[in-house]
């Protein structure tokens, strides 16, 4: 079995709506242990675990935690449950199947950093998760795991659920901060970073749902023990949302270092009707498209960094040989045309031009000049967009130009 269950270990075993069921299954033991430690020691354990954020970019969690802990005065913690990246459904599964684990992770970080107020930001489409998380907060407050004087240790932490309204860009941290402040979800120029100036210009830490769910486990087993799973630079396990033309679609949890091929063939049982794989998109619409011969690549942040994108969300979308790469690229790019907030020109105008160029290729009307224009424009959008949306949306185009260049040439009119 290549699966190793840490964050999904309670799925199907606990009743998500029962706090007693969670407590019976080691629930809140991580928080109980954390409050016996000095807050700095809690962050030391997170540092030893070498855990990197599960929201896509793989940023080391202890750096943000320590920055927030060092900040004076009111500060905030946000759990990013927006999950707008197409092909991902791991955070919804965590919130719906083990919601107390999310709360416990947040409470541990609140204790460690001194934050007294937190938000769980959930995309509006996830109505079930929203209901479950609200009920879970109430149950945790009633049992003394949230609210005032938590576990009689004199520390307070209040949590609130906020939800989006169908926008993808609010998953980006500054857009989310604006939305929490009650404004339209539009990004800000960085730096300053959220841990310096976030909600109401106060220090704010944002982590992904899956990142938070790892914290209770890290505190219970210890950072060094946690770091024994995975690879030296990508420790622990990763939830994988497997979809597309695969026989067994679903959510799987594997140690970092597992190959993409093993996930597709051992867990996903291969391609439907045993067709050949044409391409695999990693991470979601803003992730790279890779050919079949690269499937032995391991799931690991260092590998993903080569693509300069949010590949690390853990989505694997399998696409068989019946599909034209231009149809897939057009689906991605039309998504970005729709989701661009319009604040900066490279993203607002650039995606529309990319769609026009891709349509030319799809319809065999493109020239070699169009190929150069596509390549140049993709680089301009990536390098000059204001926020992460435009900075990562070109990954599928750039990777397709690298690995599927022949597909472009077959469509060029000479």
Ligand X SMILES: Cc1cc2nc3c(=O)[nH]c(=O)nc-3n(C[C@H](O)[C@H](O)[C@H](O)COP(=O)(O)O)c2cc1C
Report if residue 16 touches ligand X, rule: CB under 6 A: no
178 binds ligand X (CB under 6 A): no
- Name which of 97 and 393 has its Cβ closer to ligand SF4: 393
Name which of ligand SF4, ligand X, none residue 16 binds, using a CB cut-off of 5 to 8 Å depending on partner kind.
none
Distance between CA atoms of 397 and 401, rounded to whole angstroms? 6
- CB nearer to ligand SF4: pick between 2 and 165: 165
Is 187 a binding residue for ligand SF4 by CB under 6 A? The answer is yes
Given ligand SF4, ligand X, none, residue 178, with its beta carbon under 5 to 8 Å by kind, binds none
For ligand SF4, the closer of residues 220 and 352 by Cβ is 352
Total residues in contact with ligand SF4, by rule CB under 6 A: 14
Residue 385, interface with ligand SF4 (CB under 6 A)? Answer: yes
Q: Residue 30 or 388: which CB sits closer to ligand X?
A: 388
Which residue, 364, 339, 313, is CA-closest to 87?
Answer: 313
* 332 interacts with, out of ligand SF4, ligand X, none, CB within 5 to 8 A per kind: none
**Region binding ligand X by CB under 6 A among candidate stretches 112-120, 138-146, 168-176, 370-378:** 168-176
- Token reading at 174: 């500054």
Q: Considering only residues 74 through 93, tell me which ones interact with ligand X, judged by CB under 6 A.
A: 80, 82-85
Decide which of ligand X, ligand SF4, none touches 82; Cβ closer than 5 to 8 Å per partner kind: ligand X
User: From CA 95, how far away is CA 101, in angstroms rounded?
Assistant: 8
Phi and psi at 250, nearest 5°, equal 155, -170
Interface with ligand X (CB under 6 A), residue from 49, 167, 204, 208 = 208
Query: Which of 388, 396, 397, 408 lies at the binding interface for ligand X (CB under 6 A)?
Result: 388
Angle at which helices 99-113 and 90-97 cross, to 10°: 100
Touching ligand SF4, residues 322-341 (CB under 6 A): 340-341
89: buried, middle or exposed (CB in 10 Å: 19+, 13-18, 0-12)?
buried
Q: Distance between CA atoms of 334 and 15, rounded to whole angstroms?
A: 40
- Which tokens in the block code for residue 383? 């390098």
Instruction: Please state the closest distance from residue 100 (CB atom) to ligand X, in A.
Output: 19
List, as one string, the DSSP characters of 86-136: TT--HHHHHHHH-HHHHHHHHHHHHHHHT--EEEEEE-TT-HHHHHHHHHH
DSSP string, 139-206: HHHHTTSSEEEETTTTEEEEEEEEE--S-SGGGSHHHHHHHHTTS------SSSPTTTS-GGGS-EEE
271: DSSP letter: B
Mark the segment that binds ligand SF4 (CB under 6 A) among 38-46, 118-126, 301-309, 342-350. Answer: 342-350
176 binds ligand SF4 (CB under 6 A): no
| 211 counts as binding ligand X under rule CB under 6 A | yes
Sequence-separated contacts (24+) of 155-158 with Cβ below 8 Å: 155/35, 155/110, 155/111, 156/116, 157/106, 157/107, 157/110, 157/111, 157/115, 157/116, 157/117, 157/118, 158/116, 158/117, 158/118
**Site for ligand SF4 contains 387 (CB under 6 A):** yes
Least Å distance, CB 350 to ligand SF4, is 9
Residue from the set 179, 304, 390, 392 that interacts with ligand SF4 by CB under 6 A: 390
Contact set with ligand SF4 (CB under 6 A): 169, 187, 340-344, 347-348, 385-387, 389-390
Contact set with ligand X (CB under 6 A): 53-57, 59, 80, 82-85, 169, 171-173, 206-208, 211, 387-389
């Amino acid at each position: 079995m290549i699966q190793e269950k840490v964050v999904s270990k309670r799925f199907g075993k606990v009743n998500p709506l029962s706090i007693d069921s969670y407590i019976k299954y080691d629930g809140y033991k991580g928080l109980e242990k954390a409050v016996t430690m000095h807050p700095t020691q809690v962050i030391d354990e997170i540092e030893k675990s070498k855990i990197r954020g599960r929201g896509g970019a793989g940023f080391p969690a202890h750096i943000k935690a320590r920055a927030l802990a060092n900040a004076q005065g009111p500060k905030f913690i946000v759990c990013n449950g927006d999950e707008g990246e197409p092909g991902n459904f791991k955070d919804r599964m965590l919130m719906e199947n083990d919601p107390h684990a999310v709360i416990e992770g947040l409470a541990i970080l609140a204790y460690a950093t001194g934050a007294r107020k937190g938000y769980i930001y959930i995309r509006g489409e996830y109505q079930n998760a929203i209901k479950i998380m609200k009920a879970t907060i109430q149950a945790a407050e009633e049992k003394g795991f949230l609210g005032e004087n938590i576990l009689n240790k004199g520390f307070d932490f209040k949590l609130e659920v906020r939800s989006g309204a169908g926008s993808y860009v609010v998953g980006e941290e500054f857009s989310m901060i604006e939305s929490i402040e009650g404004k339209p979800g539009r990004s800000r120029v960085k730096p300053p970073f959220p841990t310096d100036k976030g909600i109401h210009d106060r220090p704010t830490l944002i982590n992904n749902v899956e990142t938070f769910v790892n914290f209770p486990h890290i505190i219970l087993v210890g950072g060094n023990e946690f770091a024994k799973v995975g690879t030296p630079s990508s420790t622990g396990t990763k939830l994988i949302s497997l979809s597309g033309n695969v026989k067994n679609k679903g959510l799987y949890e594997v140690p970092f270092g597992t190959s993409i091929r093993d996930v597709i063939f051992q867990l996903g049982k291969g391609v439907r009707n045993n067709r050949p794989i044409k391409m695999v998109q990693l991470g979601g619409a803003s992730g790279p498209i890779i050919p079949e011969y690269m499937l032995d690549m391991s799931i690991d942040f260092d590998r993903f960094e080569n693509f300069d994108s949010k590949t690390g969300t853990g989505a694997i979308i399998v696409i068989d040989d019946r599909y034209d790469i231009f149809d897939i690229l057009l689906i991605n790019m039309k998504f970005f045309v729709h989701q661009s907030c319009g604040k900066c020109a490279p993203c607002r105008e650039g995606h529309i031009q990319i769609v026009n160029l891709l349509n030319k290729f799809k319809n065999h009307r493109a020239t070699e000049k169009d190929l150069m224009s596509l390549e140049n424009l993709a680089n301009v959008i990536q390098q000059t967009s204001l926020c992460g949306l435009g900075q990562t949306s070109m990954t599928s185009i750039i990777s397709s130009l690298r690995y599927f260049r022949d597909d472009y040439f077959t469509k060029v009119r000479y």
